[in-house]
Each structure stands twice: as structure tokens, then as C-alpha cells.
């Protein structure tokens, strides 16, 4: 028995995809994935605040949102994180040089405890600036008060978090047309899961 063409919804490539992700490398890879495979245009937001600005732009109509849950709440927080990341890189360079120093280089070895402590302090500061549920809060706001043309876009969470409580909270916030994937996820898996959100029963 053949399925009626009237009951089959053909997937359309192209469109605009929102990527909410504060890791610059991951955001770039996701953007390239959708631009190459789906022929989409992508908009990257590295904070909840920026994502809200994009979806409320009357000139933008999004097809899909790829959402990390752990993101800075504001652009101010993001700028502070980027500054701390530069400091962290400098500290890690010092630690690497100490490890590569000769055993008899006491002066360099003395730098190690201080550098390790500084690294710990910086990582703690970065952690405090990242909202573990920032992406979920964004989706909840989007569904509740976002512009009508973007309010009900499909949402795929792509995040390092995966405990039952936060998954449940995220999916509840997004309602229908939503899914959850743990990082790291292969590109083809991301595309396949995203495409499922456009199935007729959900979209």
C-alpha cells in the first residue's frame, strides 16, 4: 500500500538557523555544518541576551534553534569571560614552560604553585559567569513572549548536560518541536535529529 503524497511533508533546505553557543570553535563548526549540508544561513549568539535580540529582530525569521544550555546571560558577562580566557591562556603558558623546564631550574619550578592557584581562580570566575540554564531560560522566554514568527521554531538542545532533571526542564520549556543531544555529537547525528523535528507530527 502506497502512502498518499498528501500525507507526506517534504523537507525544505535553506532558511535561517540560530546557534546559541558560547564556545567559539563549536559555534563555528555547527554553523559550517548547517551552511554546507542544509544550505542555511546561520546567526551565532554567544549569550542569552544576544539570542533574544536576534529572535526579536522583525527582519529575521528563523527555521531552527540549536541551543546550548550553559551560556552567559548577558553580553557584559560574555566580555568578562573572554577577558578571563585570555588570562587563562597566559597562565597555562607559564605552567607549560615550567613543566618543560630543566629539573635544576628552581626559579621556574617556584612559579608552579602560584600559576596553578591562579588557574583555579580564573576557572572559578568563568564558571560563575556562565548560567547553567541560560539556554533553557532563553527558550522559555522565546515561547512565552518572543515575536510571533519565531516563537514556535523547532529547538534542538546541544549541550554537555544530560541529567534527567535538566533534560526534563529543557524539554518542558520548549514544548513540542524539541529535542536533546549530548556533546560531543557527530555532525550527521545533529542533522538527523534536527530534521526529525520537522516531521509532520511535530511541525
> Which tens digit of pLDDT belongs to each residue from 16-50?
999 999 999 999 999 999 999 999 999 999 999 99
Residues 65 and 79 in one domain: no
Residues 61 and 149 in one domain: yes
Residues 87 and 163 in one domain: no
pLDDT digits (tens, 9 = 90+) for 6-19: 444 567 889 999 99
- Confidence at residue 104, expressed as pLDDT on a 0 to 100 scale: 59
Residue 164: inside a domain, yes or no? yes
Range of the domain at 57: 34-70+132-196
Q: What is the CA radius of gyration of the chain?
A: 21
Residue 151: inside a domain, yes or no? yes
Residue 174 C-alpha cell reads as 520548549
- Confidence at residue 201, expressed as pLDDT on a 0 to 100 scale: 44
Which H helix or E strand runs over 87? Answer: helix 75-100
Residues 139 and 52 in one domain: yes
Residue 39: inside a domain, yes or no? yes
Q: Any residues with CB less than 8 A from the CB of 21 and at least 6 apart, and which?
A: 27, 30, 44, 45, 46, 66, 68, 71, 158
Confidence of residue 203 (pLDDT cuts 50, 70, 90): very low
pLDDT digits (tens, 9 = 90+) for 75-85: 999 999 999 99
Residues 63 and 96 in one domain: no
Residues 38 and 138 in one domain: yes
Higher per-residue confidence, 198 vs 64: 64
Higher per-residue confidence, 163 vs 71: 71
Confidence of residue 4 (pLDDT cuts 50, 70, 90): very low
Residues 50 and 140 in one domain: yes
CA dist 200 → 7, 11, 119, 152, 153 (Å): 8, 10, 50, 15, 14
pLDDT digits (tens, 9 = 90+) for 111-160: 888 989 999 999 999 999 999 999 999 999 999 876 778 988 999 999 98
Residues 108 and 180 in one domain: no
* Separation CA 197–CA 9 (nearest Å): 12
- Confidence at residue 31, expressed as pLDDT on a 0 to 100 scale: 97
Residues 90 and 40 in one domain: no
Number of domains present in the structure of the chain: 2
Q: What is the pTM for the complete model shown?
A: 0.85
Q: What is the CATH number of the domain that holds 146?
A: 3.40.50.2300
Q: Is 71 helix (H, G, I), strand (E, B) or coil?
A: strand
Amino acid at each position: 500500500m502506497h502512502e498518499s503524497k498528501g500525507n507526506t511533508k517534504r523537507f525544505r533546505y535553506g532558511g535561517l538557523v540560530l546557534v546559541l553557543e558560547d564556545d567559539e570553535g563549536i559555534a563555528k563548526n555547527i554553523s559550517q555544518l548547517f551552511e554546507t549540508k542544509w544550505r542555511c544561513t546561520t546567526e551565532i549568539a554567544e549569550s542569552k541576551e544576544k539570542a533574544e535580540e536576534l529572535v526579536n529582530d522583525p527582519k529575521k525569521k528563523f527555521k531552527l534553534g540549536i541551543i546550548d544550555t550553559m551560556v552567559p546571560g548577558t553580553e557584559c558577562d560574555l566580555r568578562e569571560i573572554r577577558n578571563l580566557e585570555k588570562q587563562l591562556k597566559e597562565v597555562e603558558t607559564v605552567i607549560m614552560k615550567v613543566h618543560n623546564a630543566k629539573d635544576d631550574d628552581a626559579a621556574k619550578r617556584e612559579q608552579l604553585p602560584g600559576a596553578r592557584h591562579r588557574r583555579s581562580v580564573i576557572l572559578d570566575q568563568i564558571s560563575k559567569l556562565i548560567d547553567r540554564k541560560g539556554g533553557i531560560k532563553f527558550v522559555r522566554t522565546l515561547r512565552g513572549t518572543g515575536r510571533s514568527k519565531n516563537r514556535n521554531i523547532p529547538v534542538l538542545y546541544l549541550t554537555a548536560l544530560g541529567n534527567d532533571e535538566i533534560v526534563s526542564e529543557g524539554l518542558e520549556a520548549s514544548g513540542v518541536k524539541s529535542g536533546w543531544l549530548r556533546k560531543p555529537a557527530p555532525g550527521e547525528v545533529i542533522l538527523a535529529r534536527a530534521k526529525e523535528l520537522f516531521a509532520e507530527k511535530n511541525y
